[in-house]
Each structure stands twice: as structure tokens, then as C-alpha cells.
Amino acid sequence: RKEVEQDPGPFNVPEGATVAFNCTYSNSASQSFFWYRQDCRKEPKLLMSVYSSGNEDGRFTAQLNRASQYISLLIRDSKLSDSATYLCVVNMVLRGGADGLTFGKGTHLIIQP
Amino acid sequence: DVKVTQSSRYLVKRTGEKVFLECVQDMDHENMFWYRQDPGLGLRLIYFSYDVKMKEKGDIPEGYSVSREKKERFSLILESASTNQTSMYLCASSFSRGTGNQPQHFGDGTRLSIL
């Protein structure tokens, strides 16, 4: 089983709509969760951390369900500039006890005018 | 703001050359990472370092080595470049706080082509 799984999409969504995507993770001991955004041919950038109680940042809402081991991202009132690939990210412990991250392969979102 | 700087955005090298990719961060981060990203394969960890002069293999270390002589600098070395090492290379850094809740911050990436 893959460590972090996401639907690759693409999700084609009209501007102004609400869109949600999930990801699942395999390591039940995972403690930290993030959503990153990656634009075409650019580096991944941290969008938001995901907290146990759920959290919101403007039009973006992240939720964590530990029992089912999935994380969700909801985007309200989508903008053309939201078009990007969204990476689901989960922490892992590397050799030497270093903090590492496992990245999903990303969900491609296209907002259409 | 965290700044992670990679030495080149685009690089073209020949098969068999020794290639150096440099990465510098200005946030006094303990951890530094090298990934490669290929279509359909996502981000794959090559090597990482959690302290000066410390280095550990990631998931795909074959054909690569690294150097961390100073805390702010982490170098990736392709010992003898091959065409299958053509890829986007991304450097990242993070704090080590022992809680696991540390995001990584990425450089702009280096698009490396091996001819």
C-alpha cells in the first residue's frame, strides 16, 4: 500500500465553485500533516498545516480524520489562480530520528472561467 | 521568510561528467534534503542531512553523493552523470524540533538535463 495516496485528477471546476479532495495515509503513527501547492514547473510551497480539530485559512479548509486515516482540503469560491497541483504531505521519522515528510503525488486542479 | 537558494535553475551536462548541485538556506535549519521529481513518480528522497557532516541515504541514493560541510549548505553530487538522471532536483530544509511538526521549505529547483 502506498504511504500517501491521492486521486491524481485532473479536477476541472468552474470558477466560483467549491471543490474538495482527499488523501489517505497508511502510517497510523503519523503526527503531522500538511497541504502543499505546486504550480507547473515550480517548487512545492506550503499551503497550510492540518490540525486535529480542523483549520481554516481564508477560502481553504483542511480536515483530518485519524480514525479513517484521511485528510481533506476544501476550496470555496475557487479562483483561476487556484489552478495548481495540491500535494498531501505526512510526516515520517527518518534514519537518525530526523523529521522527514512523505509526499503524495498530487491532485491536479484546473479552474475554468 | 525562509530562503532556500539553489545554484542553478537550468543545467545541461554530458554523460559521464561529475555534476555539483548546490543549495544554501538562510534560516539556520538543522535538516536539509535533496529530492528529484519526475512526471508520474512524485517527489523522491535522494539524501538528507540532520546536522553538519551528517548524511543519510533516502529512497534512491544510487549514483549520488552529498556533502554538508557547513550548516547552511548542502551539496548534491552526481558522480558520473547518466541520462536517467535527467530530472528536476529540489532542495529543502526544515527545523528539527523533535515534535515532527516541521514543514519543509523548498528552493526553486534545478532542471538538469544529461545529454
Is the predicted pLDDT of residue B98 greater than 90, yes or no?
no
User: What pLDDT, on the 0 to 100 scale, is given for residue A94?
Assistant: 77
Tens of pLDDT along B35-75? 999 998 999 999 999 989 999 999 999 999 999 999 999 99
Q: Give chain B positions within 8 Å (CB) of A46.
A: 103-105
Strands (E), chain A: 4-6, 11-14, 19-25, 33-38, 44-50, 55-57, 60-65, 70-75, 84-93, 99-103, 107-112
Give the percent of chain B with pLDDT over 70.
94
Distance from CA of A44 to the nearest CA of B (A): 7
Residue A47 touches partner B, C-beta closer than 8 Å: no
Is the predicted pLDDT of residue A68 greater than 60, yes or no?
yes
Residue A93 touches partner B, C-beta closer than 8 Å: yes
Q: Which of B97, B101, B111 to mutate to test the interface with A (most CBs of A within 10 A)?
A: B101
Q: What is the mean pLDDT of residues B81-107?
A: 88
Of B31 and B100, the one with more pLDDT: B31
Q: Kindly report the number of other CB atoms within 10 A of residue A37's CB atom.
A: 19
Residue B41 touches partner A, C-beta closer than 8 Å: yes
Which among A43, A44, A99 is the nearest to B100, CB-wise? A99
List, in order, residues 6 or more apart from B1 with CB less than 8 Å away.
Answer: none
